[in-house]
Chains A and B, each alone.
Chain A
């Protein structure tokens, strides 16, 4: 069985991926990461977890659109592809993949992340 870090390392093989990090949504804690981490990653992780919680409150279970599966953020240079991995107990885990925008696009990056994501918690 691969360890969490080995599972996350597989994302680094995808074109343009700088970092893959697993975040506990309930606490905002970085559970494990692979790749180049910035100095403010802990703060970023906490903020992304808060975003996921806020999105779930607005669009979560019981709402007509159904539960939140992921959040995509596009900046001038990066793509942040976030996927919620269901885990019980707890509010689940958030897989955040940081991609260079010049090397990929939202559709392609999302496709590759969705292919690899199920194996992370398996």
Chain B
């Protein structure tokens, strides 16, 4: 394993190095949201990050594939040691071309979420990390970085303050008075925006990509349907941009109540068994298809 200090070499260079050396393995990225980029012969075959919904989340949340169908395909793929993508197409749950298109858009979305966040460090690992949904053939890493840059520029071109994936989204009074359905996914966003959910949360809850959701939100903000507010310091996840450890949260919730803190109140946790560990243990008991990232 090799850890690189980003102050000495930008992340793009490290990725380019992986491409040039036809690297096969995983590029782990620390920071927020952080994640993992899976490469084969220098081409990106998958990208997983908590900052953007995976294809599994997108297909299940959107109702494109039912949970029972997914579980059956997953079990069959595991038993036969088959690729999940092959299992989904052979069962007629999704077309091969459509699945490849969805995988490519999901990988692009994950890379966008990863590189538009804060990258603290990264390391490569020469291992065949198993990942159920792999893109074959892989995608050119330089093209994905260019696409992420295009997306960042497209969002920055809108008027008003820059939109972050961690910004909270609330309805305006104009949205509450809206008449007929607005279409293009706007009604779903308005139904989910409650002042607490962030742009990232809305992407997970609606089963849409992060960039798609952010683009829709920034258009809706320009149309006066939603307002966005940057997260308070304490509500930012560790490692997120501008997050400072040990800062006090003076902000309340949107309802004016004191914000609930993870590290305060509730039952005392036995040493060595944090809430996160309990959650992780419980997650191991669930079917694998349910272990995806949940918004709430």
| A→B interface (CB under 8 Å) | 1-4, 7, 22, 24, 26-32, 42, 46, 53, 56-57, 60-62, 87-91, 93, 119-122
Contacts and interface: CB of A to CB of B under 8 A. Distances in A.
Contacts of B181: 62
Contacts, number: 83
16 contacts: A2-B96, A3-B96, A3-B97, A3-B136, A4-B101, A27-B105, A27-B151, A27-B209, A29-B105, A29-B108, A29-B147, A42-B150, A57-B183, A89-B64, A90-B105, A90-B208
B89 A93 contact: no
Contact of A26 (B59, B147, B215): B215
Interface in B179-198: 181, 183-185
Interface string B91-111: 000011110111011001100
B50 interface: no
Contacts of A120: 97
B212 A27 contact: yes
Nearest to A43: B150
Nearest to B206: A89
Interface string B213-228: 0010000000000000
A46 B208 contact: no
Given A46-B150, A88-B62, 16 more contacts: A1-B96, A2-B97, A27-B151, A31-B101, A31-B105, A42-B150, A46-B154, A56-B184, A61-B183, A62-B183, A89-B59, A89-B207, A90-B212, A91-B185, A93-B101, A121-B97
The 3 closest A-B pairs by CB, nearest first: A89-B62, A1-B96, A121-B98
A4 B215 contact: no
